[in-house]
Amino acid sequence: MMIPPPKRTGVDLKVPLIPRPTVLAAFLLVAPWLPGLGAQTVLPAQPPCATCAVRLIRVATLGAELDGRLKREPLWMARDRRGRYFVTYTSKPDLASAFDSTGRFLQEIGRKGSGPAEFVYPMTVNVDTHDRLILWDVEGMRESVFDQDLHFTRSYIQRSATLFALPDGRHIASFSALDASDKPAPLSVFDSVGARVRSFGASNVVPPDGDAWRGNRVVGPGANGTVWVSRTDMYRLERWDTSGRLLQTFVRAAAWFPLIARRANWVTGDEPTPIVRAIREDRSGHLMLLVSVAAPDWRSALGKPRLAPGKPAAYPERIDARVFDTMLDVIDTKTGKLVSSQRLRGLYKFFLADDLVASYRQDNDGNPFIDVWRVVPGTPLSAPVPAPSSVTPGSGARRN
């Protein structure tokens, strides 16, 4: 028996834009402590084109089989040239999974353990320029490489995870923790055997509160081997080259994203704060950004509170797939203009290629699904059209 995928697969999804007030003046309050501005562009709070939006067309659903082997919320996701999808999970014991281009489960990758082709906690998964799979085990601080047929070939020690491969075969990695001097550890270029070539990109200092979470980086590929970088808590997008030069910066002060987002306390049920999830530049020079924002009904997704005498209520069972909506911004890097900015219902987490994005949701029974969508940016609409609920990722109810 098969669990059917969502209805109307392949239907175009046109999502409305959200108006917002202008708050650009607030940028002046924080600009003095932002070093290395480079060629900085301050984007408007509202896009000049009020009816421009992207169009999303679903091309695959992972987890639609009865035993679809999509275990829980994905932590990391990648796609190779054959169209296969690779997923790691938010739970330590789970091995990475491989799916074909239609979303059908193929196999688990590796085994549990600490030997060759074995993993304790596979955290990130990437595909290099030769279609080789690279899995990083955060517990063993080790990367393992698998060939195109998913056969293990080698492993090497590496303290940080590969985030993506450069066109020349080298890898970009980022340290999310702080170093001994309380400064964000920089991005690094590694060669094919895990040796660090150079480090760069540490321009975003940690604010005075010293929150280590703010040292986290979201990294994505740019044109001509450049690298796009953003902190998770700021709308500040930087383009670097691998020699360490800051080439371009975009900053935006939107009503839905404070200039510096505080970190929400999930345990006590704070309102979710914006989180930069993914960034990527396509071949035409459009920079796309995914930011998680609180869904209108986020409180209903916190689950049942855990009560203890003398302590505030705790919510350890929140469902991210319903807590968050997603803002998708498209920026023309050649003209420096904000092409579109719109709210997508549900949790979008990954860019998989120049024109593919992936979202995560759960059905009424709590079964996990990943939907893969093709993105057509900058589509002018005659009028904003509400997204049909039958094809909106993230519309499934939480697990009771």
Q: Which domains does the chain have, with CATH numbers?
A: 12-391 (2.120.10.30)
Return the structure tokens found at 334. Answer: 């050649």
pLDDT above 70 for 319: yes
Pinpoint the alpha helices (H) of the chain: 320-323
Instruction: Give me the residue label for tokens 């916190």.
Output: 302
Dihedral pair phi/psi, residue 245, rounded to 5°: -95, 130
* C-alpha closest to that of 227 among 239, 235, 217, 218: 239
CA distance 145 to 135: 7
Q: How confident is the model at residue 96 (pLDDT cuts 50, 70, 90)?
A: very high
Q: What is the mean pLDDT of residues 85-90?
A: 94
C-alpha dist (Å) from residue 14 to 52, 152, 299, 384 = 10, 42, 26, 8
206-262 tens-digit pLDDT: 554 555 555 578 899 999 989 999 988 889 999 999 888 999 999 998 989 876 666
Return the structure tokens found at 68. Answer: 């679809």
C-alpha dist (Å) from residue 400 to 59, 304, 359 = 30, 9, 22
Dihedral pair phi/psi, residue 334, rounded to 5°: -80, -40
As a residue count, the chain comes to 400
Q: Which of 36-40, 300-304, 389-393 has the highest mean pLDDT?
A: 300-304
- Residue 232: partners with Cβ closer than 8 Å, 6 or more residues away: 213, 214, 216, 217, 218, 275, 276
**Taking the CA atoms of the chain, what radius of gyration do you get in angstroms?**
21
123-157 tens-digit pLDDT: 999 998 889 999 999 888 889 999 999 999 999 88
Q: DSSP states of 220-280 as a string? A: EE-GGG-EEEEETTS-EEEEE-TTS-EEEEEEE-BTTB-SSPPPP-TTTTPPPPPEEEEEE
338-380 tens-digit pLDDT: 999 999 999 999 999 889 999 999 887 788 999 999 998 655 5
Q: Please state whether the predicted TM-score (pTM) of the whole model is above 0.85.
A: no
Dihedral pair phi/psi, residue 353, rounded to 5°: -165, -175
Return the structure tokens found at 367. Answer: 């079964």
